[in-house]
Amino acid sequence: MPLVNRFADLLPEITEWRRDLHQNPELLFDVQRTAGVVADKLREFGVDEVVEGIGRTGVVGIINGKDNSSGNVIGLRADMDALPIHEASGVPHASTTDGKMHACGHDGHTAMLLGAAKYLSETRNFSGKVAVIFQPAEEGGGGGNEMVQDGMMDRFGIKEVYGMHNWPGMEIGKFAIRPGSIMAAADQFDIVVTGKGGHAAAPHRGIDPTVIASQITLALQSIVSRNIDPLENAVISVTSFNTDTISYNVIPQTVSIKGTVRTLSSEVRDQIKERMETVVEHTAKSMDATAELEYHYGYPVTVNSDKQTAFAAGIAEKVSGPDNVDADIAPVMGAEDFSYMLEARPGAFIFMGNGDTALLHHPEYDFNDEAIPHGCSYWVQLVEQAMPA
């Protein structure tokens, strides 16, 4: 049971939708046109219930199967938003808006889930219900979290959720997944070190925050190497370091440091935050300065449930053959806000090959339409196998 034949017929139509979305990118929660297109199409397909405005601009469609004897409701999720990047792909369907582009393939994710919704509405060869979830603001903004906070899971009785992301550099038709942590938590921090400014020729009369902030930067690097279990994974990167002076002969009053923390477990994440608080406060104190840490929690770790991941890998094998599925890839230190849906319900997030294209978030990136039949077949077979009619 490889690719679903129907998607060979639907490919030109789904490709047309995808390219229309690509030409009309929208950012964060401001995806009104995209959400409107999605809702109109779902109604046109005869989807039983279409609800707009969930998590501000998210859309959910409910498709009833032949019967409801399984009592199950499976959520399939796509993201709709684009990025603030000026497109340089040179394709005929390039963005028509300067400074906005679909550089992460969310146009492809949306089009594939629409294709699956069309097929599932036509055939209804399953028992139970499918919730097709279209979320805004994946690229910062946490639209997935907003939909969960809006009560989406309880309102539609969703019991499991599945997500998918295209992956440049992986061949078309290949899938990759792993149980447990598959993508990192991405947090940010701001530190302000306050000393006592003065003349650079008389450092003993001031308290130099530059030296203290440098000590803090180095001490932060010892957290991963000295406090975290070497078998765990973590990154602390200082990415910005600024004093409040531009002079050659002035010791500044303050230094601001910014950076990011990436972790693959919530325990390590909490441990790093605690250690940072101690290191920042006491390093400054030991040198008669003060320092404040603001730690901003970003997207949590994306954690795949064991049972649903094994099931999803099995479906991918049915679609593409066992040789084309890696069921134990290494985790990725990027983040994904499908993590919030996986915190709310068991499920699995899978990567799908986008072929030899530019990388995600690159100005020359374009979603590969050849991947459409693979993604659509994965979605509909997942539904039909999880909830057989």
Closest CB to Ni ion among residues 104, 186: 104
User: Is the distance from CB of 354 to CB of 161 less than 8 angstroms?
Assistant: no
Binders of Ni ion among 287-346, rule CB under 5 A?
none
Whose Cβ is closer to Ni ion: residue 163's or residue 173's?
163
Of 81 and 384, which CB lies nearer to Ni ion in the complex structure? 81
To the nearest whole angstrom, how small is the minimum distance from the Cβ of residue 227 to Ni ion? 32
Question: How near is the Cβ of 83 to Ni ion at its closest, in Å?
Answer: 9
Which whole-number Å values give the CA distances from 151 to 59, 76, 136, 277, in the listed order? 13, 16, 16, 34
Integer CA distances (angstroms), 312 to 109, 125, 176, in order? 17, 19, 10
Smallest gap from residue 106 Cβ to Ni ion (A) = 6
Q: Please, which of residues 91-150 interact with Ni ion by CB under 5 A?
A: 104
| CB closest to Ni ion, residue no | 104
55 burial via Cβ count (<10 Å: 0-12, 13-18, 19+): buried
CB of 105 to Ni ion, least distance (A): 6
Spatial neighbors of 244 by CB under 8 A, at least 6 apart, are 197, 252, 253, 254, 255, 256
Helix (H, G, I), strand (E, B) or coil at 355: coil
In the complex, the smallest distance separating the C-beta of residue 350 from Ni ion, rounded to whole angstroms, is 13
* Count, residues near Ni ion per rule CB under 5 A: 1
Buried-exposed string 205-234: b where 16+ CB fall within 10 A, e elsewhere:
ebbbbbbbbebbbebbeebbeeebeeeebb
Provide, rounded to whole angstroms, the least separation between the CB of residue 168 and Ni ion: 11
CA distance 240 to 259: 7
Q: Which is nearer to Ni ion, 105 or 373 (CB)?
A: 105
For Ni ion, the binding residues (CB under 5 A) are 104
